[in-house]
Amino acid sequence: MAVAPPSYCFVAFPPRAKDGLVVFGKNSARPRDEVQEVVYFSAADHEPESKVECTYISINQVPRTHAIVISRPAWLWGAEMGANEHGVCIANEAINAREPAAETEALLGMDLVRLGLERGATAKEALDVIVALLEEHGQGGNYYEDANSCHSFQSAFLIVDREEAWVLETVGKYWAAEKITEGVKCICNQLSLTTKIDAEHPELRSYAQSQGWWMGEDEFNFSEVFSPADDHLTCCSGRDTLEKQEESITVQTMIDVLRDKASGVCVDSESFLTTASVVSVLPQNGSSPCIHYFTGTPDPSRSIFKPFIFVDDVKLVPKAQSPCFGDDDPAKKEPRFQEKPDRRHELYKAHEWARAVLESDEEQGQKLRKTMLELEKQGLEAMEEILTSSDPLDPTEVGDLFYDCVDTEIKFFK
């Protein structure tokens, strides 16, 4: 069975989070050389009976899709993490379960992240979308751009809006979910739900019984029933890192947690690297805007978190988008992945220079890191002003916010 990379995602609710804010964060641990891009798609109306082409399969499109901003491995259709215009954020974790994931091409967990964002105006709506699509199409296929072997996984999701979060864990088409409205929650690459289950597949328990995994006599414990026999690890290192924060949790706290290599939350190993990160702040007061900070580059400890706000006229950011290979893309042709094209975008290439300096030259590296953090701090302070201001947001001022931040970062690295 393929080893699931140890990604982490978190959510913190008031009063643990500051000032009536819900704070969401995710590190995406993926193969070291994989490029992630940050892409915005505006809301759109679709023709009746039209199809949407996901990573491996086509499914029926819905009449209208919401505006979304996502961070995704550049070769696939879906997303590792992202947000929509209604303040819904979703992140996905690849997990191993007692039942091996299907290698047959179906929907990837990452496709379901994007479909949930495009079709759900609340966290619960997005959950309903994901489980309905699982029932109809199933999940399966290669999670990596690898011609030599198929790495397939089951999926877990953290789905968050301004009021609540849902942890959704899936095994094939079967699933269980827990609703969270307070405290902090961390999910990683293992099943975590136990006996508190707030929604589930109608046949979940009878399926577990039919497989001989649960006798029906003890209390039903989802992760005990569905985890692989050898799965004794826990995700607690991530949870502990966030829970031991004594102060209120802010955007800065979440960024610091995602940068923490000692705890294992920021992955930098021989095979895997945190290839992109996101932090979102969702004010419970609906009149304040949600703000989403994306790196678009690997290793958050050496990256700048850059803000994005949804407005009607968002300026696209080609410099954070990978080249498009159309139908010639080796990920779209069968047999798949026979070649690996260069998917690096302009921001990624500029950042490679910075990573090299930070790794090799101690004095220059320290200077560079200081300046990078200064750039990031300016962005965080400007966003703090927007959140605490009583004036309504001026859309013309933030439509090119992410564009300007990416542009400044590239110029600075050059």
Residues that are catalytic: 9
Question: What is the separation, in whole angstroms, between the first and last Cα of the chain?
Answer: 43
In sequence order, what E strands does 195-265 have?
Answer: 199-200
How far, in Å, CA of 192 to CA of 29, rounded? 18
Q: Which phi and psi (to 5°) does residue 133 adopt? A: -70, -35
Rounding to the nearest 10 degrees, give the CA dihedral for residues 262, 151, 320, 165: -70
How far, in Å, CA of 228 to CA of 3, rounded? 12
Is the distance from CB of 358 to CB of 304 less than 8 angstroms? no
As given in the structure block, the two tokens for residue 265 are: 């939350």
How far, in Å, CA of 153 to CA of 95, rounded? 6
How far, in Å, CA of 217 to CA of 209, rounded? 10
Residue from 248, 255, 301, 292 nearest 274 by CA? 301
